[in-house]
A = this chain, B = another copy of it.
Amino acid sequence: MSTVMESKVRIQREDFSVTGEIEAIKKVSRNIGGIVTFLGTGRELSKGENITQLNFEHYPNMAEKKLEEIRVKAIADFKIIDMSIIHRIGEIDIGENIVLIVAAAEHRTEAFKACEWAIAELKRTTPIWKRETTSKGEVWVQDTP
């Protein structure tokens, strides 16, 4: 196990590098054969409205704690080797990166399952909120899980 330079779950304003996060997780084991990533990006359209900007807010510490719970449960339940979860906050433009989940496993089936579960779980349990700016103004999105 190499020295962990940065935490595998992070909430940050700045953008992240998908390649950088994948290379970091590769260092964990020489037995990784499949890495599945989910990258969520800012879409222009939402329920027919044209979005010009997104803005994310989180509950500091509690949100990071929830992400770490998701990571630990994914590793245990899906028998994957490791997972990293990064969510950006603040202003996000259309096309920009919002959230990244990387699931590394020996085989691909578990990596797909773990990654898909983790993003659904993040939406359900992690105190992060999205505000959309459209021509009609700004609105906090109230997603029903």
Contacts and interface: CB of A to CB of B under 8 A. Distances in A.
Copies of this chain, how many? 2
Nearest to A43: B33
28 contacts: A17-B19, A18-B19, A18-B37, A19-B20, A22-B39, A26-B95, A30-B43, A30-B94, A30-B95, A31-B43, A31-B44, A31-B45, A32-B41, A33-B40, A33-B41, A33-B42, A33-B43, A34-B39, A34-B40, A35-B38, A35-B39, A35-B41, A36-B115, A37-B39, A38-B111, A38-B112, A43-B106, A108-B116
A41 B16 CA distance: 21
Interface of A: 17-20, 22, 26, 30-45, 94-95, 106, 108, 111-112, 115-116, 119
Given A32-B43, A39-B35, A119-B108, A18 B22 contact: yes
A132 B42 CA distance: 42
A38 B94 contact: no
A123 B31 CA distance: 20
Chain A interface, >50% SS class: mixed
